[in-house]
């Protein structure tokens, strides 16, 4: 993650939260990011894995950022981009509907969120473009969550509600961005769709 972007985020939080400690801000950044990623699903990862003719369950872990966590499975496709039915009752254990009859490489797409351990900056690792695009949203989440805390110098219920509403809106916008693949005015559906 770019240090300049992160420094800007931390500095803005410090300015808006008099009396807040950096350690507390970093904890809240983690919480805001986690909620943002789980709800908006903007962070996705395609993970390839090879099937065998004996296994039904495959252990999958994020590869782009090893400390990140899988939230949910979106889909599994084969090399012809045809959907393969699969579930994930236990996070990280992908279960196919039936044992494959051939050895092939499948691609599973997951929703990803931040996880421990965090980086040396005290902030979890996540793709740089997300902070560049959603910095205001993440900041609103941090400010809202911090200001909602009771009996702190920076407690402010009115502003907390304001920032948390902005955060909610940003999560929804993020979800739409994903559905439309960041194309302005694009339709959320495409042909052929899932019937």
Partner 1 sequence: MATLDTVQKFVDQARVLLQDQTVPYRYSDASLLQAINLGILEIRRVRPDVFLADFTAIPSYTAVDSTAIALDIQYRPALLYFLVGYTEVTNVEEGQDARGSALMDRFMGQLVSVGGRSG
- Binding-site ranges for partner 1 (CB under 8 A): 18-19, 21, 23-24, 27, 149, 151-155
Considering the complex, state which of residue 118 and residue 178 has its C-beta at the smaller distance from partner 1.
118
User: Residue 119 CB, nearest distance to partner 1 (Å)?
Assistant: 16
- Pick 22 or 59: Cβ nearer partner 1: 22
Q: Which is nearer to partner 1, 11 or 105 (CB)?
A: 11
Nearer to partner 1, 119 or 182 (CB): 119
- Residue 18 CB, nearest distance to partner 1 (Å)? 6
Contact 25, 13 (CB under 8 A): yes
Beta bridge partners of 47: 108
Distance in Å, CB of 135 to partner 1, minimum: 24
Peptide bond into 192 cis (omega under 30): yes
| Token couple for 74 | 């979106």
State the DSSP string of 62-94.
Answer: -SSSTT-EEEEEEEEE-TTS-B--EE-SSTTEE
Cβ atoms within 10 Å of 120's Cβ, excluding its own: 7
| Residues in CB range of 187: below 8 A, 6 or more apart | 180
To partner 1, the closest distance from the beta carbon of 128 in angstroms equals 27
Q: Rank residues 152 and 166 by Cβ distance to partner 1 and give the closer one.
A: 152
**Angle (CA) 169 172 175, round 5°:** 150
Q: Min. distance of Cβ 21 from partner 1 in angstroms?
A: 5
């Amino acid at each position: 993650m770019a240090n300049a972007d992160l420094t800007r985020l931390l500095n803005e939080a410090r300015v808006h939260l008099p009396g807040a400690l950096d350690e507390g801000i970093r904890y809240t950044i983690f919480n805001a990011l986690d909620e943002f990623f789980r709800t908006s699903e903007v962070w996705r990862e395609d993970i390839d894995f090879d099937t065998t003719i004996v296994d039904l369950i495959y252990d999958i872990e994020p590869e782009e950022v090893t400390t990140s966590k899988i939230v949910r499975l979106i889909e599994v496709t084969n090399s012809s981009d045809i959907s393969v039915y699969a579930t994930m009752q236990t996070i990280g254990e992908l279960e196919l509907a039936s044992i494959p009859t051939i050895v092939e490489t499948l691609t599973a797409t997951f929703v990803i969120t931040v996880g421990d351990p965090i980086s040396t900056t005290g902030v979890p690792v996540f793709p740089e473009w997300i902070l560049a695009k959603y910095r205001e949203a993440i900041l609103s989440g941090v400010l809202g969550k911090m200001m909602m805390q009771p009996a702190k110098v920076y407690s402010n219920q009115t502003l907390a509600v304001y920032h948390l509403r902005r955060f909610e809106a940003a999560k929804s916008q993020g979800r739409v961005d994903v559905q439309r693949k960041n194309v302005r005015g694009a339709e959320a559906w495409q042909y052929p769709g899932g019937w």
